[in-house]
Chains A and B, each alone.
Chain A
Amino acid sequence: MAEQKVELFARRLDRGVQQAVHSNSAAGTEKRYTVLGTDYSAPDDLRRLAGQIRQHAIEHLDTYLEQAEQSLKRQGAHVHYAVTAEDACRAVSDILQKAGAKKVVKSKSMISEEIHLNDHLGSVGIESVETDLGEYIIQIDGDHPSHIVKPIIHKNRRDIAKSFEREGLGDYNDDPETITRRARVFMRDKYLQADAGITGANFVSAETGRLVLVTNEGNSRFCLAAPKIHIALVGIEKVIPSDAELAVLLNLLGRSATGQQLTVYTEFINGPARTDRPSGPQEMHVIFVDNERSQILASDCREILRCIRCGACLNVCPVYRQASGHAYRSVYPGPVGAVLSPLLAGKNFKQLADLPKASSLCGACNEVCPVDIPIPDLLLKLRNRGHEEHAPSPGTPPMGAFAKLASSPMLWRFAMKSNKVMNLVPLEKLPLPYLQPWLKTRTLPEWRGGEFRSWMKDRRKK
């Protein structure tokens, strides 16, 4: 029988990688739980409030996006729009080429992964260097991030040391501190030589136009300190009404992502540096990217647009912990990815329609989500959509016969009783394709169909 792709990936996954992903994720879950528990008596109320804030924002996207644009323009920033991933890539390279820029430094941003910006810039002869330590290692290895907050959760220090050696960043040394120092030295030159810095944004305040960036390493600050041009790629769903909402959202984001009250750097940027300043970009461009988001907004899965990319749902997810991020074959792994990736695929939905099936629907993701996204409901809706569109789903039993049986009480009772023959045959020999995967690792209890019904009847007679 054909196998689910996520299952196949998980089955073949290196044990060491699986264990690293598991322990790192479990530690993340634990930290989040502890810090929220220490600081708040009712963290769930706060999560629900944050959910409402984000839901309100995306349901008024037309208003807030326009307001954000005006605020940014007032501050002297240029605002652009891109409908597709290709449009977004082209918008970036157009700005760079117009300015004669050849070298850029990038701070970590999921949307630039989503549109494959680095590949595009490479193809037009622009050097683009990822400056986040993890993302840099991904870049030199030609790899893909496997977690939205911890991109190299699947790599160990020995892998990294080998990559650094190969890239000429010193002799083999797998001490994490040495690795970090070498990256520091290497990046310094890159920052100072770069013509432009590219960032994403975690939030955009419509009222003030402030782009909010949260990081720990300080690389985004460098990208906005040394180069002369700042380009920010922002998904249109990132807008929020005003700065005031950040009190709720920032307090939840850091705690959910890394167990920090705030990340080390929280940056608020709403324009180019003023002309009398010695450093900072003199030009700021904000590119608002749609790339299927308006279609998601039109769908019955629009709640996923609330996501603030904290990664808590990945950390807590038992399937992610077993399969790791690359099993999801897309930029966004884990529960958020199982919803978002097939939707972002647009017309190619069917190619990723198996992802929503890779879940036991345990609901842990919803329980930790800082914006209370009903992820299991969305997974179920997408399963239904996959079914309607006849997307292939290996290993999923057909349900027509079950429905017939379960809506005819006579047949049902008969089946309950007659199935007792199952107790008499060796189950492992039965040619039932959906029973065998169960029996491989599990036994079945004795069939006792009808027993309760007769007991109940007797009791009523008495």
Chain B
Amino acid sequence: MSTAREQIFSSVRAALAPLPERTARPVFSKDVAEPHWLAAEADSLALFQKRAEATGTKCFTDMESCAAWLRSQGVRTVYIPAPLTRLAALCSEFSEVTSEYTRARVNEIDAAFTPAAGAIAESGSIILSDESTPDRLAALAPWHHIALVSRAEIHRTIADALAAMPDDPNLIWVTGPSKTADVEGILIQGVHGPGAQACLIL
């Protein structure tokens, strides 16, 4: 008896065999799907900030204002992974700042900082990867997530980001806070992931 794989491949081949010709792979320029307003945006950093804010991601360029925002949000416990300890020094006013993230504390951490693998200006997206993120849960479970984006790693377009995807089994583009409109089409933020998404541009 043939395997499922063989069966499927043979029916696919049988289905395609009678086609007189097959559609060629379309050739298109990399910018084909760029929105037409993109051309007028010279500065990728400014564009990223504009697009990120438009999709609900708060942008900060210094730690002080970011920490002030978190305080105003009532944040008490903050996770800052080890490589970022110099930021932790700026977070003295929180009741707890930890560099340890464990499953047991998934619901206790109010805010987490994790380094991003880059960003996309066109869409205001933050790029997360396994390589850059100490723990998948840390960037996802807390209500506040702050991604650290380095200026040099902002891709101008979606196509640029696709062309430069790092070799990582888990890449995520985050465009705004987690949300749903399942109930009567009403927009609610913070379903399973962060209800407040931010980035700190360094």
Q: With A217-B192, A222-B192, A248-B28 as known contacts, state yes or no: A65 contacts B172, CB within 8 Å.
A: no
Q: How far does the alpha carbon of A35 sit from the alpha carbon of B12 in the complex, in Å?
A: 37
Q: Are A262 and B123 in contact (CB under 8 A)?
A: yes
Known: A83-B4, A280-B130. A268 touches B171 (CB 8 A): yes
Q: Identify B24's interface contact among A56, A217, A284, CB under 8 A.
A: A56
Pair A133/B32 contact, Cβ less than 8 Å: no
Measured CA separation A134–B183 after assembly (Å):
8
Residues of A within 8 A of B16 (CB): 59-62, 297
Q: Is the CB of B12 within 8 A of A297?
A: yes
Check: B44 CB closer than 8 A to any chain A CB. no
Q: Are B4 and A87 neighbours in the complex by a CB distance under 8 Å?
A: yes
Residue of B4, B24, B170 with most chain A CB atoms under a 10 A cut-off: B170
Cβ contacts under 8 Å, B180 to chain A: 133-134, 180, 216-217
Q: Which of B130, B172, B191 has the most CB of A within 10 A?
A: B191
CB distance from A188 to the nearest CB of B (A): 6
Interface residues on A, range: 35 or more
A49: contacting residue among B26, B175, B182, CB under 8 A:
B26
B22 near A269 with CB under 8 A, answer: no
**Of the candidates B35, B36, B37, B169, which one forms a contact with A270 in the assembled complex, judged by CB atoms under 8 Å apart?**
B169
Residue in A83, A218, A247 whose CB lies within 8 Å of B30: A247
Taking a contact as CB atoms under 8 Å apart, the answer to whether A41 and B171 are in contact is: no
* Nearest B residue to A177, CB-CB: B188
Residues of chain A at the chain B interface (Cβ within 8 Å): 20, 24, 27, 38-41, 46, 49, 52-53, 55-56, 59-62, 65-66, 75-76, 80-83, 87, 131-134, 137, 150-153, 156-157, 160, 176-177, 179-181, 183-184, 187-188, 191-192, 208, 210, 216-219, 221-222, 224-226, 236, 241, 243-244, 246-248, 250-252, 258, 260-274, 277-280, 284, 288, 290, 294-295, 297-298, 302
Q: Which residues of B contact A (CB under 8 A)?
A: 3-5, 7-9, 11-16, 19, 22-26, 28, 30, 32-33, 35-37, 55, 101, 103, 106-107, 122-123, 125, 130, 134-137, 140-141, 157-159, 162-163, 165, 169-186, 188, 190-194
Would you list 8 pairs from A and B whose C-beta atoms are within 8 A, ordered by A residue? A27-B185, A66-B9, A183-B191, A210-B171, A224-B170, A264-B179, A279-B136, A284-B169
